[in-house]
Amino acid sequence: MTKRVLVLLLGLGLVVIVTAAGYVGYAAVKHAQTVALPAPTGRYPVGRTTFDWTDHHRTDPLAPRSNAPRALSVWLWYPADPHDDGPRTSYAPGAWSGLHFSGLAGLGETSFQSIHTHSQSQLSVAAGRFPIVVLEPGMGLSAPQYTTLAENIASHGYLVAGVTPTYSANLTVLHQHPVHGTPMGNPPQFTTAAGNRLIPIWAGDARFTADRVAALDHQGWLSGHVDSGRIAYVGHSFGGASSIQACASDARCAGAVDLDGTAFGPVVHGGLHAPLMIIGAATSCTTGTCRPTGAVERGIRTSARALLAASTGPTWCFNIAGTEHFNFTDYAAYYLALPLRSLVPLGGIDGRRGLSITNSYVTAFLDHVVRGQREPLLTGPANR
């Protein structure tokens, strides 16, 4: 090897080292940089509390030990008294910090300590009675990762109960201890059979959560503040599919929202008789309007069209330009380092704008079907 070639190689190596060091430094700065989640648009300040609830009427088929009852973590966002004050809530307190990408919490994304929420703890509930909205996350995800959506709905006068599906979420926290997902709860190869097997469990979680929140109307600090006559179910991805199924089995259901979720379970062919809104990513087949490029997309479109054909309630289907599957989560609002950013399906739309559009349509739908308000966003063609 000539001296000139050696010098060139050493120079290239130095450039690589300096560039890598610069990127690590940049990532470290972005990791620590404060990020405020998009502000809620409703008139109420938002309170937040958490519950660990056990459904003693259901044996958990996903639990590693037999005959264990189904245990769930539920986060409740609620309209708060504007004259009250309390400490700002942490985005992912305690063991929930494990929601960071494994091993990369130092550089991979915005520190959870640097994410500012818009909810507070230890607040009194606002005057009035408020409908229940059950919020279900996507497969592998947890309720805290939908804080932007939950806070916005709560600010418009709803009790938002985010339920994390134990053993299907990568992480939930029960009694301050982390509980991780299992192959039974989150199959590595997700098939239609797996979806149909899990749908009744997730829909049961949603129904149980709605019932427990309704029961709070007769006890403690929520007594007299719960309007359980009309309940709405909202979910993302598999949580969206579960929300539709939960709504189909609940006579109190005023409507369901599916955020980019493929339909599974009996509701696909039985249909939904309550109002339904499906919001899909830009090229998603969940609204039944895509041009499929393969068998998977054809299957999603077929399920969507069967569901819509069988449903008798009013339906709205929208696709948001520039979005992908994770634009409906808080991932759209904070920093992800480049290696991770390429692994998370986020579209080219400004993340905060995408969340703003989603929030506007979801709250318009809820105000329309739960409260009977006329909503300009929902007028005109029902399928856009």
Per domain, the residue ranges of the chain are: 33-378
191-200, 311-320, 341-350: range with lowest mean pLDDT: 341-350
Q: What is the dihedral of CA 293, 294, 296, 297, to 10 degrees?
A: 20
Could you report the per-residue pLDDT of 336-381, keeping only the tens digit for each? 887 777 789 999 999 999 999 999 999 999 999 999 999 988 985 5
**Which residue carries 């939908």 as its tokens?**
146
Residue range 223-252: average pLDDT?
97
Residue 12's pLDDT is: 61
d(Cα 358, Cα 231) in Å, to the nearest integer?
20
d(Cα 47, Cα 124) in Å, to the nearest integer?
8
Q: How far is CA 169 from CA 99, 146, 163, 202, 356, in A?
A: 10, 13, 10, 11, 25
Amino acid letter for position 228: S
Residue 17's pLDDT is: 52
* Sign (positive or negative) of CA dihedral 53, 237, 200, 267: positive
User: CB-based contacts of 36: which residues, under 8 Å, 6+ apart?
Assistant: 115, 116, 118
Could you report the per-residue pLDDT of 272-295, keeping only the tens digit for each? 999 999 999 999 999 999 989 899
Fold entry, domain 33-378: Rossmann fold (3.40.50)
Residue 30's pLDDT is: 52
DSSP 8-state secondary structure symbol assigned to residue 365: H
pLDDT band at 4 (very low <50, low <70, confident <90, very high): low
28-37, 236-245, 296-305, 363-372: range with lowest mean pLDDT: 28-37
Residue 7's pLDDT is: 54
Assess whether pLDDT exceeds 50 at residue 41: yes
User: CB-based contacts of 279: which residues, under 8 Å, 6+ apart?
Assistant: 257, 258, 259, 260, 287, 317, 318, 319, 320, 328, 358, 361, 362
Residue 14's pLDDT is: 53
Assess whether pLDDT exceeds 70 at residue 23: no
pTM higher than 0.85 for the full model? yes
Q: How far is CA 4 from CA 14, 123, 176, in A?
A: 15, 70, 61
* Sign (positive or negative) of CA dihedral 135, 141, 142, 146: negative
Residue range 48-60: average pLDDT?
98
Mean confidence (pLDDT) of the chain: 91
Residue range 127-153: average pLDDT?
98
**Which residue carries 């109190």 as its tokens?**
252
Residue 338's pLDDT is: 76
